[in-house]
Amino acid sequence: MGKLAIVLASGELEKIQAASTIASVASTLGNEVVVFATMDGLMAFRKDVVENRTWKTAGELGKGMLESGAPLFIDTLRQAKEVGNIKIYACGMIMDMLKMKLDDFVDIFDDVVGVSAFLGMVEDAQVLFI
């Protein structure tokens, strides 16, 4: 099959959840998947946000997901990394701008990359921007 790249720019839980589900399942079906977390999408992976489950939500659905206590995108992506072909990258520009280190985020990223490196990785991929 093909190569799928997802630019995760939204910090809204509903969008991240949907994107992560698609990315994770695709990665188990012979696709090469690349996720690039940037802007608010990167902030959703901050340790304090993940620990306290203080993600932004678009509305009632997202609040319900938080209240249900169900496993969310972090768990799904971790499972995908165990069994699928998925790489997750943090945006270097945001980290430089906010003086953040990879250590400020949960342990899920393969590397920190800039936009040029990301574009190089996804030349032959279908790209979804979320």
User: CA-to-CA distance for 84 and 80, rounded, in angstroms?
Assistant: 5
What is the contact surface with another protein in residues (CB under 8 A)? 21, 24-25, 28-30, 68, 70-71, 75-76, 79-80, 82-84
User: CA-to-CA distance for 19 and 16, rounded, in angstroms?
Assistant: 5
User: CA-to-CA distance for 35 and 108, rounded, in angstroms?
Assistant: 11
Report the residue number, 73 or 105, with the smaller CB distance to another protein: 73
**Shortest Cβ distance from residue 127 to another protein (Å)?**
22
Report the residue number, 21 or 92, with the smaller CB distance to another protein: 21
**Shortest Cβ distance from residue 91 to another protein (Å)?**
25
**Shortest Cβ distance from residue 47 to another protein (Å)?**
23
Residue holding tokens 């969310």? 72
Report the residue number, 30 or 120, with the smaller CB distance to another protein: 30
Q: Which residues contact 19 (CB under 8 A, 6 or more apart)?
A: 6, 8, 35, 73, 128, 130
